[in-house]
Amino acid sequence: MCLSIPSKVVKIDKERNTAVVDTMGVTREAGLELVEHEDIQLGDYVLIHIGFVMNKISEEDALESLKVYNEILEKMDEEDRKNLVLEDDNCENRGS
């Protein structure tokens, strides 16, 4: 199962067209090729799928989603929590 957990943009590399995002304490790099029409800035919340930023979402929506994810995580053990956050990195594109 793939989850798109809201991630906060913490660094942008315009030369490489990538962003470093923080997903519930886990940082990763994501490509910006699919959102070049959007103005992605530091501090924005985005959704990522298979290593690419898919879209920007409002801070209000992101924080509400993160609140729900945290409620779910409280019921899981530490290893399952980490795997849930990292799972998107290994998620297959089921549409292809």
pLDDT digits (tens, 9 = 90+) for 8-36: 999 999 999 999 999 988 899 999 999 98
Angle at 69 between CA 28 and CA 40, to 5 degrees: 45
Band of pLDDT at residue 2, cut at 50, 70 and 90: low
pLDDT cut 70: percent of the chain above it: 82
- Domains in the chain (CATH in brackets) are 7-90 (2.30.30.140)
Mean pLDDT for 50-65 is 95
pLDDT of residue 38: 84
Residue for token pair 């053990």: 77
Considering only residues 38 and 59, tell me which one the structure prediction assigns the higher pLDDT. Answer: 59
- pTM (whole model) above 0.85: no
d(CA 38, CA 3): 22
d(CA 84, CA 90): 11
